[in-house]
Copies of this chain bind each other. A is one copy, B any other.
């Protein structure tokens, strides 16, 4: 199995390295062979070849069976509004080109992290849901977009077709079937025409193909409230690109486990797996970054792209064990702290 490895910027390379240790351990125990091919992406790719998603990287991705991604972003581009090439452009192009239209983000609360959560323990206890975000449509890509000729007006277009909505919805319905048979659609159907199409399409699809799944509809502003007041009510959520961007980031901090949350972006045959957290430039090179989110992303990769459920579970179990033994990086409250490398070694071990 070929795995494209895109470490990216900031702490990306350090955490990806630990995930590879875990993959190597799995390969040894279960007798698999993983071939890694590294490629440039993000700010480091701009610095090296002037393009945040170079053709060579695309080639590496397209000839692999799955992609392991670190993180991208560098303040030197973030703070320069005039920068012509930006790391984000590479990210968006990559999603589009590779057909990664479905972003999957599980959110789980960990007992050991109750101290780290900004929310009260009774609010986050038992939180365990997953958000499906459409990732290659909506206002991120809709045309027309730009400026009027005199520069006085700007515009963006939120566009969705039934087909785009259906294909991502199927992923969410399938997951709901494996979980609690409930799907929550997050939209703004009281204002947006696109949201009304979402509602209509999801309802039709549900009735036609997933009659056993109960569908709940909730406005995005209300969802942003409920996510804080009662996140345990959610199980499988489904939403568009823009609302998903906001809601998944909000969701990622409620349990205090940002450093532990993996994600997958799928659609075409090649899936991409990455931690939810960013490139954390201030932490780069210090051997302090939490590698768990990336290691759990590798587990998602094994399960989702390679159908290796047992192997994935072995990684998850190892992560749980190290957490229980308090072998954790400094972002997690503990008596003693370990380095990125040490945590990576312990999990692989």
Contact = CB atoms under 8 A, between A and B. Distances in A.
A191 interface: yes
Interface residues of A, number: 58
Contact of A225 (B142, B157, B163, B253): B253
A118 interface: yes
A161 B147 CA distance: 10
A252 interface: yes
Contacts of A242: 188
Contacts of A197: 147, 153-154
B191 A92 contact: yes
A194 B250 CA distance: 23
Contact of A191 (B140, B146, B152, B252): B140
Interface in A196-225: 196-197, 199-200, 220-222, 224-225
Q: Counting chain B CB atoms within 10 Å of each CB, which of A88, A152, A224, A247 scores highest?
A: A224
A147 B249 contact: no
Q: Main secondary structure on chain A at its contact with chain B? A: helix
Contact of A86 (B188, B190, B228, B245): B190
Given A190-B88, A220-B246, A246-B221, A229 B154 contact: no
A337 B249 CA distance: 38
A67 B220 CA distance: 27
B154 A156 contact: no
Contacts of A221: 245-246, 248-250
Contacts of A160: 153-155
A136 to B, nearest CB: 13
Interface in A75-94: 78, 81, 86, 88, 92
Given A120-B119, A199-B81, A246 B229 contact: no
Nearest to A241: B191
Interface in A151-177: 152-163
Nearest to A198: B154
A81 B53 CA distance: 42
4 closest A-B pairs by beta carbon, nearest first, are: A154-B197, A221-B249, A224-B250, A156-B158
Given A142-B155, A224-B224, A246-B246, 12 more contacts: A86-B190, A88-B190, A92-B191, A139-B191, A152-B161, A152-B162, A153-B160, A155-B193, A156-B193, A220-B246, A222-B249, A224-B246
7 contacts: A139-B191, A145-B192, A153-B161, A155-B159, A220-B246, A224-B250, A229-B253
